Structure 1
């Protein structure tokens, strides 16, 4: 609507000025009116073709028409995203054209006696009028164009920042979800390690207790005492773990105002450290007791240690203990009565362990206690060892038994 209105006003102006142009040129006034109206109407395409509008305005300058078209056309040209040399060239052409036309008209007026001012007024009037018609619209257009480009740049930057913030929020949510999954996996692994071995031995002893209850009361009493001891040990470890989890949840509630992205990334590592710091986790010093419990359940276990024993970081000792514990549990489940060899090697920069069992006395036999298997033991052992930068290998032996091997660096590194 603005462009149509400006074009209508410009056409009317040029049509009126076309009458005097027709009189000076000696043509019918109607032709001057039509010519002026057509020239002024070109302003309607100023946004699409600003160069054409300026060129038309320069072309009709000698006819002393199209002043509005020249001013609006120069403003639009300067505000457009065109090379500065094109804008400068067209503005210079418009300035020169209006200067020449003004110089000639003022000189003619002075020659007819319409103006009684000195000759100095001719160049002064030409320069002043031409600059007044050219400089303000060009400068204003350049200012508006620069401001418009600045606003567009700021808007694009704001949109880009908004997209980046959205991506960061999505990544933070993904990291938080990853941390939650890692925490759930770690808790499940700890629960499995704590419960599986103790309860498996309890079930084995309970089955033995059932078998000898009437035949050998003294052995039944001994097995019952062992079941009670193992149950109390399992409850103690469970209470320690639940206490750590409860204290961790209370700490997270206290830090609820901290952004999720900052807390989620360290959740799993912090929880693991809490278990090691607050709970008295198992260590290699309890390996003899662990093997003794298996031996009491009827398993023949041969322990051999190579190298000089030395203290390791808590996470290394706990992982080594859990690997041996889970391997012995699997022997109870799948190869009851098979002789088992536990080998531990202290090396310069690592600790290696291997648990290998011979084939069971009866091929295909499992524990008489019918222990269930969830299939997560080997996966949990591999996750523990890999988390410390170690290597875990498991599989059947050529003799028909099963072997579990692990090597853990003495200075653990994150996998």
Structure 2
């Protein structure tokens, strides 16, 4: 199927090979005009050929009506126009047929060959017609101008429609190419938008997971110690009032520390960047920007305000205050590491001690920290808990997220995490982290 520049993106609503009914009306009108022209010229053709006039008129009408199939078979229309050129009819058929042929997507060599044949036929007919007029004595130009007249007539009938058709066909292909590029860009933009949405969803999930880990570490450890102290307080309240007062003070300190850490974390979540929230409601940014900005702000707040390995002694001291026997040993020369590494190492030890409070209250625990050349190793190992312990009545709940959170933290920094029971009946948590991320 060939076209003459009609919009191909329009829905196919016309019959047969027409895209639209407007094309049907245009081709029917051109075919009617061409048929009328050829029918009128068929009268002279019938007289010159010695045929009945109705035969010549019918032949002209049939040949001129070939423009109806110009969009479907442009080669056939051009061949018909070439065939009736000796009969000196079909000027409109030739012009429209050549234009349609040139505007089609046929190879250029076929277009050039048929255009050359049409030009040659028109040139021959123009020469014969001019010589006949001179022979009949009609006033005309001199014989030396006959070739010039014939060439001009042949070029005038053939060249303009061919050039116009080539231009329209090239322009149509250019427009189609630009439309395809626009569609391709639209699809790419849609794909990028979907990917951005996926990345935003991933960022939100990662942020939820990180916040859940932080909340678990802050709440679980502090509250576990508070519950242990409360159980000890209950056990010694009547026997040793002085020790009860001390345990009550420790519970208050633990609660205040937990509230402080929770307040800092909630402040970061509310403001998004650690600064004071403004009363005005800002313009709502894109969804992906919100997720990434929240993740970046929370990460900055964690790096700046999070715990470090220098506070490990205090952490171990808090567990000792509950009556747990905890040994801390440090190997290698202590040095500053990146904030993420120190905070992760601190949280691993903190969560491991929390698990000891929950599942092995009263068990002796060994905390080991080793500074190596390019990494930091830590290990928390507890012995089997005693048969009976005063703090065993604390009944601390467990959600099963502690080990999962530790593993996620360590693996997120490219470290190694191993946990499991020991041969002696205790439990061991080991982690190795790179010194710099």
TM-score bracket for this pair, using the shorter chain length: over 0.9
Match status 1:271 vs 2:298:
yes
Matches within 5 A, 1:224-243: 224-243=248-267
Residues 274 and 297 in structure 2, CA contact (< 8 A), matched pair in contact too: no
Indicate the SS of the match to 1:374.
Answer: coil
TM-score (norm 2): 0.89
TM-score (norm 1): 0.94
1:388 equivalent in structure 2: 413
Matches within 5 A, 1:72-91: 72-91=96-115
Matches within 5 A, 1:41-80: 41-80=65-104
Q: Summarize the Cα distance change of 1:175–1:350 in structure 2 as closer, same or farther, 3 Å threshold.
A: same
Cα deviation per residue 1:133-177 (whole Å; 9 max; x = unaligned)? 111111111111111111111211222222222222222222222
Aligned length, in residue pairs: 409
Q: Summarize the Cα distance change of 1:257–1:213 in structure 2 as closer, same or farther, 3 Å threshold.
A: closer
Q: 1:361: Cα distance to partner?
A: 2.4
Which stretch of the first structure deviates more once superposed, 67-76 or 2-11? 2-11
Which stretch of the first structure deviates more once superposed, 329-338 or 389-398? 389-398
Residues 198 and 230 in structure 1, CA contact (< 8 A), matched pair in contact too: yes
2:317 equivalent in structure 1: 292
Q: 1:258: Cα distance to partner?
A: 5.4
Residues 307 and 345 in structure 1, CA contact (< 8 A), matched pair in contact too: yes
Q: Partners in 2 of 1:241 and 1:257 — Cα distance?
A: 23
Instruction: Give 1:148's match in structure 2, choosing from 163, 166, 172.
Output: 172
Q: 1:235: Cα distance to partner?
A: 1.5
Instruction: Give 2:434's match in structure 1, choosing from 385, 409, 414.
Output: 409
Q: Partners in 2 of 1:250 and 1:403 — Cα distance?
A: 37
2:9 equivalent in structure 1: none
Q: Partners in 2 of 1:393 and 1:103 — Cα distance?
A: 101
Match status 1:211 vs 2:235:
yes
Instruction: Give 1:348's match in structure 2, choosing from 348, 354, 373.
Output: 373
Gaps of 5+ in 1: none
Residues 394 and 405 in structure 1, CA contact (< 8 A), matched pair in contact too: yes
Matches within 5 A, 1:6-405: 6-248=30-272, 256=283, 259-262=286-289, 264-265=291-292, 267-277=294-304, 279=305, 281-362=306-387, 367-405=392-430
Indicate the SS of the match to 1:342.
Answer: strand
Q: Partners in 1 of 2:187 and 2:274 — Cα distance?
A: 34
